[in-house]
Structure 1
């Protein structure tokens, strides 16, 4: 028996004062006492909410069991202790899309749902079973409940795979060339030995028996005698058993991952910095020190870190210093880890510190020091700009020379050339040799002579003008040629005929040029002539001597290419103002 006090507010009852509307100084509560049986006492149930383990997933038509999350921590709730304390486990179901809690009927004719200790069995599962399940542990004095969610996935056929599962795979590590035995997960939860069962294994969605001597079935287990690379992947095991007159099954997945052989060296190895490696650094800039560590696979944690003067980056707590670590290569579980130490605004004090890179796995620890060297400043920007300007100027000079090479050559000769009048006793600068006919004679007298004597200031010798009457033609020709610095040969179709004076002048000029070296012969092509009509001396001269072509009216101007080319071959002489 307990005494229950029921208290009522005065607002629900008549006021104490008989006068209507009289003010009340205080509010008075009336409490009535009555005796209530203990069986009628309402107990507040502690609600733990929904389990943090996430939803349980199952394929439609397969067996499923739900473990009450209250017993996930045996130190808090233990099923045997709860039974001894008079606590009962009650299950409720809230269907998907509904809010009403319905107690689970374990006496339904289909006998699909059953309870075994702290587990709720669904054999098999249907789509109507999806939703929230609440397990409540209570007696007369205490109560606790927690919810969990069940998701039922449709069992549609996958054309690419004979089997599929809803539960996440169980990871299994298998070293290369070693053996490993695969056991179907949750097989121990079905009632043995009273329940007969069978296990079918799949690899790559295909069922198999004894493929080869490396993988064989032994009872419910799959034994891999020699692990190979192509043996890794997902293995499905389908457990089929019979209960209450019906065949039930559930599917589990084992994810086999191949790792490096256990017979290989497992000590960590520092790849970078290498021995005697120097890290160039520059003060005032950001410095990145890269460390690469090989960490072979071993069970347990693997890590890399930097130490500065024996302290880690976290212990230094310097905002300028940070690090990043990532796995750049994963080869059968053997990691190559890259750890980059980043130092901003690098100073001279940082240069004097000791930097060590370390790596560790379950076997050993490896450490190597990083040696820093201050980088010599190279004015790369200045050098690059200077080189670019130099190349640009060279290009400009090349273009200018290619276009104005004659002008530049004449300018150079006028400044630095030697006046031949000061080095010899020749009387004439130029001796003109030409075919004696009216057209060539007019070109020589009216054009060549006028420009060379009047415009350019050369002394010109023309045999027909400067020879005295009564002399011998041969002797006077040789004399005039010998007293001249250049022999200008005007080529035309009539030039070089056998026995002409023009041929004599050409031979005399070539002989003097060959023996003495103080005379030069210049060929001026006045009109085109066929090479078949050239005499032997003219062919020899054409190979060794410069040829300046007269192009009619285009060559009349003193600034034309003809006169520039001709002035290059003539003795040095300044142009008159």
Structure 2
């Protein structure tokens, strides 16, 4: 009887629309949407005459929602025709009989910005993982569908086999059915057409995924560093193929909790813990948290930095210790190789300008593959090894950057930066880039402060802002005395290297 009553509550409504129980809701801007509460709740709490009022929290104060042509209250529904970004916030519905007020239900509404270049927003989808050889159906939406509504299905933003039903049925799934499916419902209202979408990422696997054990990536480790140097310790936990609601990750310093970072570097304590972040790479879920150490001290070398991962009543720990740095190179330099620009200025920057100033003037030791690696050795193994021996990975970035070898260097470096946290990445924007879509999406997870921009002749002087910013991101190193002022003898064109018309093929992402 309890189950039957619960089902009646979920599906009961005066207008026939589905009214699911949900406290936090994500919706895309520009779409039709509604909030609703269950009629049975009202009848259970109140009898006799009453009024219904909808409220939105504004700076901690409840404000009555005034109806308009866009926001309409219809019995136990609050409809948005359509919902806008400014509608995000906390909502509640209150019943009053003149003597007392009762809050029937509360919601948190998060309106997401629409992706102008795609039919869906990657932050507004659900993932369904199924096995090949089984049957399955994708459901369009919680919205009810009437004869006046039309439905269109898309796979990876392309019309999918003229499918127009509320459910998309697959008798036998294959790996080729994997993709991102978007259902679009057109709704007619007062002479205008509105729409609502629902997006599902379908992952079809040949075999069932093996049993996943909660684990911390990398486990115990020692990080090579120097006194006075900034260090950012990372702990990343692998959660499996779904995101547990109770997953938590936090740091301890000698079994004591560190202070929280304020987000303002000038006021942050010498050691502080950042907010926990959740990541999805492919169909795998991770949680990660950073511990910032402004300047390493002798005392820090004796600390145990412990990261604890807890989820599903299980606990994993990772102990990190600091030790003096013994890496061979200050930086590995990654630049365009296989697809060379007509004037080869980018290559010249990597092989001549960068080492001339960083090595000869500032005493750094760079690893430049074309210059330092003997011919005939295994390229893939060497790249991985030399990046591992380097304190930094410098990427000289341009529209032509991606090539077979360069993409491997980038993927390897991103893995070490984002997952292993063994190497810090420095991006040198060699020429202005307006569209970063040719780069792996995970590159956007890197801090923006690790990007320096080359401005041709303006950046050439050793005392320019470019070299100051670059040295700030490099390991601490005393400058040599024989500093030269300018390098006009280098063949640098006034316009800089121009991208090749055909570009370079992009062969993969992290």
* TM-score (normalised: structure 2): 0.36
Larger radius of gyration: 1
More helix per residue: 1 or 2? 1
Query: What is the TM-score of this pair, normalised by structure 1?
Result: 0.33
